[in-house]
Amino acid sequence: MTTGSKRIRLSKSKIAAFEHCPRRLWLQVHRREAGHFDADTLARFKFGHDVGRRATFAMPNGILVHAKPDIQAALDHTAELMACGPRQPIFEATFQHDGVLVRVDILEPDSFGAWRAIEVKASSRVRTYQLADIATQIWVMQGCGVTITQAVIRHLVSPIAWRRPDIEALRFQDTDVTKAMRRYVATRESATAAARITAQGPEVMSEMGVHCRRPFSCEFQDHCAATFAFPLLQGVL
């Protein structure tokens, strides 16, 4: 199945899916209904959302950008907020460049007339794939003419029992990843091009392995297990 000449809009999460496993991206685009998240993964998602809300509540003077009635409204609202003063922190600032859409957790004005990009994570330390995540955002914003002076991952101070977390007790610390993620920014154009070719091309057939569960569980594990087991069973019969 292909999309012909139709241009697929990518996002930070879709590029991350491609870098995790090209087949995962293809399935997200063409077989979305085949995905299934287990209860643990859904609980982690909820925890991550709660952590994000907690981080923004700690900045009471920020303005939230809503994607209503559609994503174009978010793009327009972001542009208006950045063009007008006084400048305030923006939550879910939305940008699009070269067919890639991103929504930034926190965009905070700095003292130089530019901006700090803050990505909120529910982990207690910075992980490698998170650098690629924020690099995609920086690349898109730079493509839109936005000057970013610092890239920050705001994460938890210490590990927490995420199944029954005390959200009000969460504490954060910032890790400056500006230098660390620069090499990832340099790869974003090629990663985007490769992801788009994959998404618009024929079905990707990738064998299963440890990447199906690390660094996080893939929603297409059951689908892939059935897909790759079927020809094996036929061969045995």
Domain parsing of the chain, residue ranges:
10-236
Q: Give, for 131, the enclosing helix (H) or strand (E).
A: helix 128-143
Q: Which token pair is 30?
A: 């063409």
Percent of the chain with pLDDT over 90: 71
State the pLDDT confidence band at 111, using cuts at 50, 70 and 90: confident
Say yes or no to pLDDT of 232 above 70. Answer: no
Span 60-77, pLDDT tens digits: 889 999 999 999 999 999
Answer for the pair 134, 177: CB distance below 8 angstroms, yes or no. Answer: yes
Q: What is the pLDDT of residue 3?
A: 41
Averaged pLDDT of the chain: 90
What's the rounded Cα separation, in Å, for the pair 205 and 22? 9
Residue 86 is predicted with a pLDDT of 67
For CA atoms 70, 73, 75, 81, give the dihedral sign. Answer: negative
In this prediction, residue 22 has a pLDDT band, given cuts at 50, 70 and 90, of very high
DSSP β-ladder status, 148-156 and 115-120: parallel
pLDDT digits (tens, 9 = 90+) for 124-182: 999 999 999 999 999 999 999 999 999 999 999 998 877 788 888 889 999 999 999 89
**What is residue 89's predicted lDDT score, i.e. its pLDDT?**
94
d(CA 237, CA 228): 15
Confidence at residue 84, expressed as pLDDT on a 0 to 100 scale: 82
Quick one: fold of 10-236?
Lambda Exonuclease; Chain A (3.90.320)
**Residues 135, 181 contacting (CB under 8 angstroms):** yes
* Gap between the Cα atoms of 13 and 29, Å rounded: 12
